[in-house]
Structure 1
Amino acid sequence: MERRKFIRNTGLAAALGAASPFSFGQARQARPQEGFTLDYAPHLGMFKGSAGDDPLDQLRFMADAGFRSFEDNGMPNRPVAMQEAMARVMMERGLRMGVFVAHAIYWDKPNLASGDPALREEFLEEIRAAVDVARRVNAKWMTVVPGHLDLRRDMGHQTASVVESLRQAADILEPHGLVMVLEPLNFRDHPGMFLSGSAQAYEICRAVNSPACKILFDIYHQQIQEGNLIPNIGACWDEIAYFQIGDNPGRKEPTTGEINYANVFRYLLGRGYNGILGMEHGNSMEGTPGEEAVIQAYKSVDP
């Protein structure tokens, strides 16, 4: 994923009783006529040239362009008033909320793989705070990256530590119907990460054994990490809850690289996938022509 290091927002520790007036899935009821067969989710900034700087206007533009979902890695760091305003616009325009990043990612030192009780509690506190964010913006899924490898520990011990942390997180999320999605990251862009492959993510989800812990299959990352996309998606199918998109090389919109997204999307449709596919990539061209190119690219590969 392309993200900065997220600093925990102390304002997210609002009481769990302050629930959002929105219920999961409600946002889909008012959506306009669908422009795509699959449910692709842009992010803020992707259509800034066309819609302007205001996040709310960008959401309206996405809905007018035929998109019916939206994702925002940095949602927990936005002011509560903005979160609530974005939730209202999504509700009004029929946009479903996709993932946000649930915790600060340790890029260069181990945290969950270390087994350190203090780092585990830090992670769990962020998961508790993420429940409030999810309620506020009508979200169901949140991204979790377990962090860096602990090179001083055996891989089996690291895995056991990660699984235990995720089990405790799942106990927090399950009562709220929320799902953390584990994202494997590729070795080239993010060297040294504990979680890198789809089979590893599958094994961990099986070990956690909770509906609150599933896989985020980022097609860009896994093309670099392992390739063999459609067979690997099929092998992990029962544990995948979310997809993200980006072509390789370049991490831009489909049709700009080597991935045959038309075939991949046709496969997902054939399997009955009706979840979100996050557009976690840049635009290959700048300005409004580049933004129109993104929309046209998705129209060309949508099954």
Structure 2
Amino acid sequence: MERRPFLKNISIGALGASVIPAEAFSMHDGPLSQNAFKLAFAPHFGMFDTLAGPDLLDQLRFMKEAGFQAVEDNEMAKRPVEMQEEIGETMRELGLSMGVFVGHSISWNEPDLASGDDENLERFLEEIKSSIAVADRVDAKWITVVPGAKDPSLDMGYQTANVIYALKRAVQILDPYKITMVIEPLNFYDHPGMFLTGSAQAYEVCKAVGSPYCKILYDIYHQQIQEGNLISNITRCWDEIAYFQMADNPGRKEPGTGEINYANVLKFIAGKGYTGLVGMEHGVKTEGKDGELRVIEAYREIDRTL
């Protein structure tokens, strides 16, 4: 299938290290071009839809041209199989890696895995099985797992035991396919009442599951709100972290729009030898071309410090 040319009159590479103005679209000819980022930052679909257009495959091509090495998509499992296959094929052609997608339906309000309910457990395990086919289509190595809401009727110790048991069962399914579920602690402000909230708690659960296919998704945004002390907590959890995500706080937008010193945090992570993905799980502060170009430059500014 021949795709329309989606990049016209732009060359980010020609603009050097300065902030990229929207005027670049009329001032420069040729394809958008940048060297690859040093860290495998992974944008998501919709982040650059003004620049690249609404077509998901065009957005992948744009990400590659802009220097990104990966993409993540929470909604991948909900997309039609044909689209999953097209995305996977295009990513392989471009040499893009697939980041996380959500591997099951998350219970935001009702107790789920923490409850120990057999029906909840069986539904979860069936969804994990279904996620394997999705992962195969797009060459995904990680799936996000969120245990859901707490069960106020049970002591926390019982809830923890229930979650650990559910994750051990899921590991048995994923192990033959070498797919890692990354459990994500969520902050109390955006997601009140969730079972998994802190890095130490996630570390405890992963140690109890005891598998290379159950690790932590350390979302820097969530943990800044939940507990702070980022570098210290990352250090303590290091051997159980398999994936990072980021957004600035407050606002959950691109780095540089809030209080987190991402240059320092990411320099620390890179210095420890991290070669995995860093998901850009955030919105764009300013709508339109200017805002989307500013996102790219925000990551270039960090990249130059690594």
TM-score (normalised: structure 2): 0.88
Q: Distance in 2 between matches of 1:205 and 1:33?
A: 38
Does structure 2 retain, via aligned residues, the 8 Å contact 1:34–1:68?
no
Instruction: Give the match for residue 175 of structure 1.
Output: 176
Does structure 1 retain, via aligned residues, the 8 Å contact 2:34–2:65?
no
Instruction: Give the match for residue 230 of structure 1.
Output: 231
Instruction: Give the match for residue 200 of structure 1.
Output: 201
Q: Distance in 1 between matches of 2:51 and 2:81?
A: 26
Instruction: Give the match for residue 8 of structure 1.
Output: none
RMSD: 0.9
Instruction: Give the match for residue 37 of structure 1.
Output: 38
Q: Distance in 2 between matches of 1:33 and 1:300?
A: 13
1:57 aligns with 2:58: yes
Instruction: Give the match for residue 146 of structure 2.
Output: 145
Q: Distance in 2 between matches of 1:288 and 1:87?
A: 27
* CA apart distance, 1:154: 0.5
Gaps of 5+ in 1: 1-31
Which residue identity is paired with 1:105?
I
Gaps of 5+ in 2: 1-32
Query: What SS class does the counterpart of residue 181 from structure 1 fall into?
Result: strand
Query: What SS class does the counterpart of residue 249 from structure 1 fall into?
Result: coil
Does structure 2 retain, via aligned residues, the 8 Å contact 1:198–1:236?
yes
Does structure 1 retain, via aligned residues, the 8 Å contact 2:180–2:213?
yes
Deviations 1:229-286 (A, max 9, x none): 0000000000000000100000000011000000011101110000000000000110
TM-score (normalised: structure 1): 0.89
Query: What SS class does the counterpart of residue 165 from structure 1 fall into?
Result: helix
Q: How does 1:240-251 map to 2 (within 5 A)?
A: 240-251=241-252
Q: Distance in 2 between matches of 1:34 and 1:141?
A: 26
Which residue identity is paired with 2:214?
C
Deviations 1:172-227 (A, max 9, x none): 00110000000000000000000000000000000000111000000000000000
Identity of aligned residues (%): 62
Q: Distance in 1 between matches of 2:139 and 2:278?
A: 17
* CA apart distance, 1:34: 4.2
Deviations 1:113-135 (A, max 9, x none): 00001110000000000011101
* CA apart distance, 1:35: 2.3
Structure showing greater Rg = 2
Q: Distance in 2 between matches of 1:156 and 1:181?
A: 21
Instruction: Give the match for residue 273 of structure 1.
Output: 274
* CA apart distance, 1:301: 1.1
Q: Distance in 1 between matches of 2:105 and 2:73?
A: 15
Query: What SS class does the counterpart of residue 45 from structure 1 fall into?
Result: coil
Instruction: Give the match for residue 295 of structure 2.
Output: 294
Instruction: Give the match for residue 87 of structure 2.
Output: 86
Q: Distance in 1 between matches of 2:258 and 2:37?
A: 21
Instruction: Give the match for residue 104 of structure 2.
Output: 103
Q: Distance in 1 between matches of 2:301 and 2:34?
A: 18
